[in-house]
Structures are given as C-alpha cells and as structure tokens.
Chain A
Amino acid sequence: MLLVRSMPLDSQEKMQRALQYAIELEHATIPPYLTAFYSLQPGKNDAIAGLIRGIVFQEMQHMARAANILNAIAGQPQIDKPEFIPHYPGGLPFHIGDRDGHHFDVPLQRFSIDLVQNVFMRIEEPDEPINFPVGTHMAALVAEQYRTIGDFYRAVRAALKAEWFTGDHARQVTSYVSAVYTLADAQAAIDLIIEQGEGTTTSPLSGMGDQLAHYYRFAEIFHQRTLVPDNSVPEKYSYSGAPIPFDATGVLPIVANPTSKLYPAGSMARVQSDIFNEIYSNLLRALHITFNGQPDHFDAALGLMYDLKLQAIKLMNIPLDASTNAAPCYEYAVA
C-alpha cells in the first residue's frame, strides 16, 4: 500500500508541481523492478522476466503520460537532476506500509519470490480503504492527510481545469503513448494510469494477461500460476492457470543496495559501475530534453535504455567475492 503526499491542486502552478511529483513517483519503482529483472539470467525464468518487463514498460508509459499532462498545462518536466533519483532503500518519494501499519523500504535487490511478495505486491496493492491500527506509522501518515496513490490521481483528475491546457502541442511525446492536448485527453491518460497499476479495483476480472493490473501480475509470480476465471470460487477467479515456474538457480547473486563507495576505486566493478551510472544519467538527460521540446530525441533515449540493459548484465556478472556479484547503483553522474 502506497501513501503519497497530499498536495494542494487549486492553481495551475500547484498542479504543475503535483504532476512533477507524479513523474518522480512513476520513475521511483523502475530501478528496483529493473534490478530484479536484470538479475534473472536469460533462458531461466523467462516467464517471470516477461511479466516484470511488461510492468516496467507500463511504469515508463505512466511517467511519459504524466510528463505529457504537465507539458499540456504549460509546465516543464525536470528529469536531469540528481534529486530526481531516489535513494534506495528508503528514500522514495512516497511511503509504503504493510497492513499492520508498519513502514517498509524498497531495496535494490536480486529477484526472489520473497521480494515479490513482501515488496512488489505491497507497492502495487489494490486501493481499498484500509484502517491501519492506531499508533502505527501508517495511521499517523493518514492523519497527516497522506493518501493512496489512486486517491492522488483521482484528485488530480478532478482538479484539472480546461483553461490550463495552453501548452505547446509540439512538446508532446507520442512514442508508445498518446499526446495530451485537452482536459479530456488528460483525464483519459489518468484513467489508464489508475487502471493499469495504481488504484486498481479489487477485482481483476476487468482485465487478463497484459490488461491485468500490476498487483495481479506480481501475484501470478508469487503463486507461480497464471490468474484465470474460475466460477467454482466466490471470487470468480483463481491462480490455477498455466504454471509460472521459478528456477532459483537462475538468479545472479548480486549485492543489495550498493553505492559506488562499496566498489574500490580502480576495480573492475567500480569501472563498470561508473559506466552504468553514466549511461543511466545520460538516459535521464535524454528523457529530459525529449520531454522539454525535442520529442524526436526519444529514439536516442530508447537506444540508451538498451545500452543500460547490456551494461547492467555485464555489471551483475562481475564477482565481488566468492558469493556475491556487483549490481547497479543508479547514481547521477554530472559530466
């Protein structure tokens, strides 16, 4: 269950700040999801990898949609800044709590069923109202007007005003997402974001396969079976479909939550980790100019995404010691 900051939305400028926050939210889960995804060795666990890949792709689309909305209301996405990247674990731009109201962190960690159950499923949990036990961290946040991410987007949707949509149409990015020119476009984009991931309804019956909300796709990985309609149970669905096997030997033993300091200067791991940070930072800068008036630069950003994948794999295959390999740090490199 995600709780996000409650933000005032009653002016165009305040709405622009809220949408910048949305862009950062959508980006924040990508490095943890990608780290788990890249740690899966090719040829083993391909079904699991495919599911995570699909989820990451949609988070990226959400980020692009939020940026399009921000541009549509004459804002300027800020992506090429060190502050754009959260600190892992724990420094995310939102709070995550379990049903007992306790806060938990999101690590950069190798794939495991535990990670899916205890972190990823919690991040994507359906947006039903939960009464957190009094005295817990989460109850305190709720009292401070923190809200679920679904509520956040619903509030944004309700507060957008047609007269704010004065942004330059040429700034809209249409690679893998639709342009946003009008209030109706923005509302449609937000409905998609909500439906696909955040703030989903409690029933998956509105979608299957690629239409399944992220929570249910992670649940399929956890249950190791696909979700299928099932009239024999009251929920009308069950995890009784095709098996999704997990091969525990097919996961690279990467270190958790690394920072550059962990890798000695001049070592193989440090050299390759620095390159990863450079590619990742170049990617953020490429996305920045894509969403700030150069939509054609998206192709360069796409190329960098593939470079990032190859570099992550290379880095994750470098041993640090007898039992652990290196992993990406996702740090901003300025030059």
Chain B
Amino acid sequence: MSYLNPPRLHFAGKFQASPSTVNNDPDHFNNATFIPDYQKFGRGASNGWWNPMGDAVWRLIGCKVTAAWLKYDAQAADNDPINTCLIGDSDRSPPAKMVDLDPEQQMVSEIWGLQIRICLPDGTNLLRARYDTAAFMDIWDRSAGGGGDAGGGAMYQSVLTDLEWGDLSGSPFLTALKQSAKDGLLSIKFNVDGYKMDSTSPDFTRGRIVGTIGPSSAAEPRHFVLGRQFMAAAGPGGNFFAPAGRVNFCTAVVDVQAGKLVLDLGNALPTNTPGGAISDLGTLGLGYPVPPSTGGGGQAPVLLGVFNYSLPGWYETTAGLVTLPAGRVLTQDELTAIQQSVLAVTATAANGSTTVAIAEAPNGTYVRADRYVFRLNPGDTAKVRLFASQLGAPYAGARIICVRDPSQLQGQMFSAVGPPPPVATPADVVDFPARVVADQNGVAELAIQVGDPKQVRNFIDGQVYGVRPILEDDLAFGAGYNFNQWEFVSLLVWSSFAEENPPTWYGSIQPIFQQYANLYPVMKPIVDLADYDSVCTNVRILELAFGLPIDDPNSMPVTRDLSDAKRAAILRWLREPGPDGKPRKGTAPPPAAAAVAPAAARAIAPPVSEEEPIRGGKALAASRRLMLRKR
C-alpha cells in the first residue's frame, strides 16, 4: 500500500526552502582563510552566493487539498469537508529545516523535523503527524529556461508517523484514510519545481509543490514504491539529468484485486517554463508490447489508455497521478499480460508516429536502498535496507552487487587556499560485502562498516562516500540497463576527535564554533558563536539546542554535520563550567601565523561567468561531479 492507492488526497501550493549558501563552497570551511566577503550576497566563490543569510527553513505555504479519492473511480462527496482542507506544517513548533549532507554532496538534501497537518480553514486540526526525515530523489532538468536550480525538479517520498487524528465524524474520506493507516503510517509524496532564486522577488526561495497522501504499512519501503519502475535513458546535456525521451524516472503500481493501474508522472513530465504548464509531448499513453503469441513484431504496444495531462489544472488536482483504465477495470487477459511484460509510456505525435518515451528495464528488474543518506561516526555500521523487485513483485534471492561509487559526489575542483578537499578517499574507510542476497521478500540488508577518515579533508570534518547496489542481472554484458544515477547510498563519515580533558574554548571548542559562525551569519542576532562572551550569555539555549535529538527542528547544528564526539565535547563544555561559573576558557594560543592574504586569494580565484548567480546552487555542485571530469 502506498500513496498511489486509495483512499488518497492530492494537494497543491507553494513551498519555501532557504538554505544558507555560505557553506556551498568547501573553501569557506577553512577558518584560517575566511574573509567577511564570504558572507556577502554575491556570485562566485569569493562571496556568499545567492542566499548567505539563509536560515535553512523549509515550510509549506498556502497548500490546499485539490482532490480526494475514496476509491479508484469514486471521489469523496462534494460536501465532504476534506475538499475545503488545508495542508500545513507545524502550527505550534519551529519550522522544519532542509540541509545538505555535505558541501561535496549537495544532491541529497533532507527535510528534518517536519510536521504535517490536515486542517479546516478555521485551523481545526483533523490530522497532525510527523514526517519521517527524507532526502529528495530524481532531480532533473524539468524546464528549459530559468537556468540551473530554477529549472530543476525533484521529488520527496516518505511516511507520516505518530498520527494524531481530530474529530473525523464529519468526513467519510478522513475516516477511511484513518482506517487505511493500519500500522499507524501514511504514505506521502510530493514534487517540487519552479524554485525562485531572484532575491529581489517576494517569492525568493519559494517554488511550486504538488503532492499526495495515502495509505502505507510497515512492510513497505518508506521512500519509494515497490512497483513498476520506468527507467529513463540519459539524454545529452542538462545540469542534473535530461531524460532522452523527455519523461523522467517514474513508478506505477498494479492493483490486481481492483483491476487498476496507477502511474505517478508527478516528477516525470517537463514544463515549458520553471513551475509552469506541462509541455506538450503529444498523446501520452501507457502500454505493453504485443504478446509474441499474437504474431507481434514491429507493432505498436497495446495501449491501456491515454493520459489527460493537458487539461487545465491537471497537475494540481492529480499531482501527476494517472489511473488506468478509465471507467472500467483491467480484464484478466490484460492483468496476465501486464504481469508478464514490461510496460512503456508511449508518445504519439500529431502525425501519428509513436515512440517509447520511457519504459521498464527489459527484464523489469530493480533494486534500491530505502533510506540512502547516512551520517556515521568512526566504527559505526550503516544498516542499509535494499529492496529488489522484478516487474513490481519482490525478487526473492536476488543477487545484489555492491560497489564503491563516488561518481556522483561533487568534489571541489579548485581551491584558492590550497589543494581542494578530495572525496571518497581513503577508500578503505568504507567496508561492505561485495554481494548480498535478497530474502524471500526481496529484501537484503547491506551492512556498511566505516573506519576513521582522519583529517583527509583538512578543515572539513570527515569524508563523503558513495556505495551503489546493482543487481547482478543488470551487469550482464549488453544488458543495456538504464541505471538511475541518483540511486546510490551517500555516507558522511566523521573524523575521530581527540578529546580535550576538560574541553576549553581556546582548545577544542572555539574552532568548531568559529566555523559555524562563519558559515551561518543568520545566527548572529541570537548568538555570535565566534565570540566567547556571546556564547556565555547563551549557555542555556545552546545546551538545549545541542542536546536535542537530530530530528527536532531546532537541533543544532542545523546542518547535522557534527560528530558524536564533538557534540559530547561541546555539551560537556557547556555543562561543566570552570571556577568562575563560565565555560572553561583555557589558555589563549600564541598569535597565528599570517594566513593567505585575501587579495592574493581572490587573484587566483577562477573566473566567474555571467550565469554564476543562477547556477550557484545545486546546478553548480552537480557540474563538479566526478563522473563529468575528463580523465
């Protein structure tokens, strides 16, 4: 069960994501060479990029329910109050935060501490729930124009937990939704695009969002749907990913009992402008190849139906979901064929010629990690749940090869202040079996043990790594499998930290706090982390914030990039004051040697092109991926 199955609701509105961009450049992590210019709005690595005062807040803005389906062909009654409901985030806690894993892995931003509510227009809450932390997936160049991040699109999928229901007596839809949440879980998926990066616009840091909430269960993966996986071939160009057939990766499920198929095109159809109308791709339909027994070969696929994606308001009222066949159920023959054939989305031009826009892999196989972002201390083990499937059914006994894959990590290519911090080295810090085998449910657990990368990246703590699970079937010579470049596991492994006993400001604490003060200037009106006296004035709230669980929206640091050892040192320093009642200062070090002169640093910075202000975001990070470098 997932958000593709009824009962489900769709919603549409805006979202806001305002990351701090001072931390986009690995050079800015170096305390010794940091200059005030790095906190100023401006382009290029010498300045703070397009949002230096970002507060990392992620919120929903003005989201409304646009449709509610009790069954595949039955909407909620017109007078069901769900049709008036708003979808909001927290109405009584600080807002959620969105943060990257690392400056050299910015392509798995996660939303932390998000609450989701369904409420009536007067604020009466009918559902309050926690959104399980999730990273985005399937980022692609959804729109021409706008450039970089503004033209991008991505999706987030997760579950809602800790469900608190209000008075549902007036809404048969919500009553049904509650009943469907058998394990106290709901499935939620939303698509984001149309992000505005113009700081003079009132919509700065906002974009379009559409999404779906439906049932889930404990047996399901949380962050993708175990279903029919459409794998896009890579086209040329693009900042993130440009699908060859113009339709992006997407998923469908077949509900055998109900005789219906649901395909989610919410993050799969391009737009003419960022956040604008869906592009005209001709007549789009879903079909499967003609079964050989009927003498096929060269014939167009059997079509189950076409999509009404061009109707005004389609995207907002469906969040991109298409249910087929319209007005009837699948016949037994169709069901048999669907369960044995690969599915394809076809595009038919005005002149009648039909092409396959996107299809399942030829053997219909698929493997993915459910959760794919991990933060680890030296000696930890990441337990990665892998799900293998074939034509949507669990692939028992699947043999899954696991390889080191740093190709998607965004290593800095140029540094004004020394050698650029490398990624994924030393490689042997990350250890895992070369092959795991799925159980009878198609599930395998991959245990990734990590060691200590030490100070390999000098002033950036730890190291980032990539590990990719691949089905042995898909490695066969000539298999031609269209891998999804984003489907791999990202790991941030922290460096070991030499404990100072007891911790002191001038010893181990100030360097950590100075770096945060440099990277997050928005904090300054509250506390200047570079200033001992300011920190002392705020001991109590700092102790609170550093002691919160990582999924609390106020957990510090907002970037969640602090190792357990460093966190323990900070908490001890805050909680065990010296004889003067203040956190221990220690002994001031002798004056530091002269750092790289700022003028010299800027003199050797790379030339900045006109588009940098726009591309200065994920698009710029993506251009640094190892896989794009010529050898």
A interface list, Cβ under 8 A from B: 42, 266-268, 270-271, 281-282, 285-286, 288-289, 297, 299-300, 302-304, 306-307, 309-310, 313, 334-335
Do B55 and A310 touch across chains, with their CB atoms under 8 A apart? yes
From the candidates A270, A299, A300, A307, name the one contacting B92 in the complex (CB within 8 A).
A300
From the candidates A302, A307, A334, name the one contacting B122 in the complex (CB within 8 A).
A334
Give the size of the chain B interface in residues (CB under 8 angstroms). 25
Name the residue on B nearest A271 (C-beta).
B202
Given contacts A42-B525, A271-B202, A335-B119, 15 further A-B contacts (CB under 8 A): A266-B202, A268-B202, A270-B202, A271-B203, A282-B92, A289-B92, A297-B92, A299-B554, A300-B93, A300-B94, A303-B94, A303-B553, A310-B55, A334-B121, A335-B86
B interface list, Cβ under 8 A from A: 55, 86, 88, 90-95, 119, 121-123, 201-203, 522, 524-526, 541, 544, 548, 553-554
Do A302 and B541 touch across chains, with their CB atoms under 8 A apart? yes
Name the residue on B nearest A318 (C-beta).
B202
Do A304 and B202 touch across chains, with their CB atoms under 8 A apart? no
CB distance from A257 to the nearest CB of B (A): 23
- Summarize A's interface: helix, strand, loop or mixed: helix
CB within 8 Å: A-B pair count:
57
Do A303 and B554 touch across chains, with their CB atoms under 8 A apart? yes
Interchain residue pairs A-B with the least CB separation, the first 4? A334-B123, A285-B92, A303-B94, A303-B554
Expressed in whole angstroms, the Cα–Cα distance for A300 and B94 within the complex equals: 6
From the candidates A42, A297, A299, A335, name the one contacting B544 in the complex (CB within 8 A).
A299
Do A282 and B93 touch across chains, with their CB atoms under 8 A apart? yes
| Chain B neighbourhood of A288, CB < 8 A | 92
| Chain B neighbourhood of A335, CB < 8 A | 86, 88, 91, 119, 121-123
Name the residue on B nearest A306 (C-beta).
B526
Do A313 and B91 touch across chains, with their CB atoms under 8 A apart? no
- Summarize B's interface: helix, strand, loop or mixed: loop
| Chain A neighbourhood of B203, CB < 8 A | 271
With A309-B526, A310-B522 as contacts: A304 and B55 at CB distance below 8 Å: no
CB distance from B81 to the nearest CB of A (A): 14
Do A267 and B202 touch across chains, with their CB atoms under 8 A apart? yes
Expressed in whole angstroms, the Cα–Cα distance for A130 and B74 within the complex equals: 73
| Chain A neighbourhood of B91, CB < 8 A | 281-282, 285, 335
CB distance from B127 to the nearest CB of A (A): 13
CB distance from A40 to the nearest CB of B (A): 11
With A271-B202, A335-B123 as contacts: A313 and B541 at CB distance below 8 Å: no
Do B202 and A310 touch across chains, with their CB atoms under 8 A apart? no
CB distance from B524 to the nearest CB of A (A): 8
CB distance from B20 to the nearest CB of A (A): 13
With A303-B553, A307-B95 as contacts: A282 and B526 at CB distance below 8 Å: no
| Chain A neighbourhood of B541, CB < 8 A | 302, 306
CB distance from A109 to the nearest CB of B (A): 20
- The 21 sampled A-B contact pairs (Cβ below 8 Å) are A271-B202, A281-B91, A282-B90, A282-B91, A282-B93, A285-B92, A286-B92, A297-B92, A299-B554, A300-B94, A302-B541, A304-B93, A306-B541, A309-B525, A310-B522, A310-B526, A334-B123, A335-B91, A335-B119, A335-B121, A335-B123
CB distance from B58 to the nearest CB of A (A): 13
